[in-house]
Amino acid sequence: MNIIQMRNSNAFPGRYGLKPRWVILHGTAGGTSAQAIAQYFQSTQGSNNPVSAHYAIGQDGQIVQCNAESDGAWANGVVTAGHDPWWSENDNPNPNNVTISIEHCKPDDANVTVLTAAQQASSFWLIKDICQRNNIPMRPADVSGGITGHYSIDPINRSRCPGNYDWKALWANGGTPPVATQPIQPTANQLRSANDSWDSVLKSTVAGPAPRGTGIYQAWLQSLLSGKFYGPPITREYDSVDWNGGHIVCQEFGHARCEWVAGSANWYGPSGKI
């Protein structure tokens, strides 16, 4: 699983000698990109409200690590009335130092958005990986450890965090990594025909055809071999930003636009995402 590193200093170094015993799930209540959430965490360094989490998972399934697991990320805030009993301030004065926190990007402010398939697969994989490496029990939380949501610590202010999450599926299938799709291998004639199409519009321009060794080219080729033809490229790749201000790479085609985000291609037509 590819994990992007976008670290910040909003953490307790070394957890003051404590070990993580729980995994805490969060919802962002805004945003779709893990990179944008990580950039926000970085922007709060040195502010009056520095915040972070160990990981963020975007709706595209991309995982970003923001703090080392050996440190206590500033994610869980305060313990409020009605909290689960093992968060007693006498026994655990700072939940951040005994937890590993995962943010899940959800665009609505109430965290009711269902995780995308890619996001859920990444979440299940990451949780199991964390639990196995840190000897955290892969089950609902209790006094000895486990997995729960931010609501367990702060039921007054974070009752809807992480919000909509398929706990039943996590217990049944947690940790099963997404099945990698093997790329289709074109025949020599298929590749020649595809490349002729790829070059057809831009070959007469001063700059010449668009490069073929890019992620967008590979995504376009795989789509073509699967029966989806987006037309030849009519521009070369160019840098842009998404709605959250995150960096993306775009390329226009005869029948669609491709946005390259976090190592994957997203295709858009006149009516939206294809």
Q: Would you give the DSSP letter of residue 151?
A: G
Predicted pLDDT of residue 247: 83
| 183 in any annotated domain | no
CA neighbor of 195 nearest in space, from 221, 226, 222, 219 = 221
Considering the domain architecture, whether residues 137 and 194 belong to the same structural domain is answered as no
Considering the domain architecture, whether residues 207 and 257 belong to the same structural domain is answered as yes
Predicted pLDDT of residue 181: 53
| Contact assessment for residue 168 and residue 44, using Cβ atoms and an 8 Å cutoff | no
Considering the domain architecture, whether residues 28 and 129 belong to the same structural domain is answered as yes
Considering the domain architecture, whether residues 75 and 135 belong to the same structural domain is answered as yes
Considering the domain architecture, whether residues 86 and 194 belong to the same structural domain is answered as no
Which residue, 122, 138, 173, sits at the end of a domain?
A: 173
| 180 in any annotated domain | no
Considering the domain architecture, whether residues 236 and 157 belong to the same structural domain is answered as no
Considering the domain architecture, whether residues 46 and 167 belong to the same structural domain is answered as yes
How many other CB atoms are found less than 10 A from the CB of residue 180? 6
At residue 179, does pLDDT exceed 50? no
Considering the domain architecture, whether residues 135 and 269 belong to the same structural domain is answered as no
User: The CATH number of the domain where 54 resides is what?
Assistant: 3.40.80.10
> Per residue in 113-167, pLDDT tens?
999 999 999 999 999 999 999 999 999 998 889 999 999 999 999 999 999 999 9
> Per residue in 44-76, pLDDT tens?
999 999 999 999 999 999 999 999 999 999 999
Q: What is the 3-state secondary structure (H, E, C) of 13-31?
A: HHHHHCCCCEEEEEECCCC
| Contact assessment for residue 90 and residue 71, using Cβ atoms and an 8 Å cutoff | no
Chain mean pLDDT for the chain: 90
The position carrying tokens 């959800």 is 106
Considering the domain architecture, whether residues 117 and 17 belong to the same structural domain is answered as yes
Considering the domain architecture, whether residues 69 and 115 belong to the same structural domain is answered as yes
Predicted pLDDT of residue 178: 43
> Per residue in 192-243, pLDDT tens?
999 999 999 999 898 899 998 888 998 999 888 888 899 999 999 999 987 7
| Contact assessment for residue 29 and residue 110, using Cβ atoms and an 8 Å cutoff | yes
Residue 80 structural domain: 3-173
| 20 in any annotated domain | yes
> Per residue in 71-99, pLDDT tens?
999 999 889 888 998 887 556 669 999 99
Cis peptide before 162 (omega within 30 of 0): yes
Handedness of CA 21, 133, 114, 44 (dihedral sign): positive
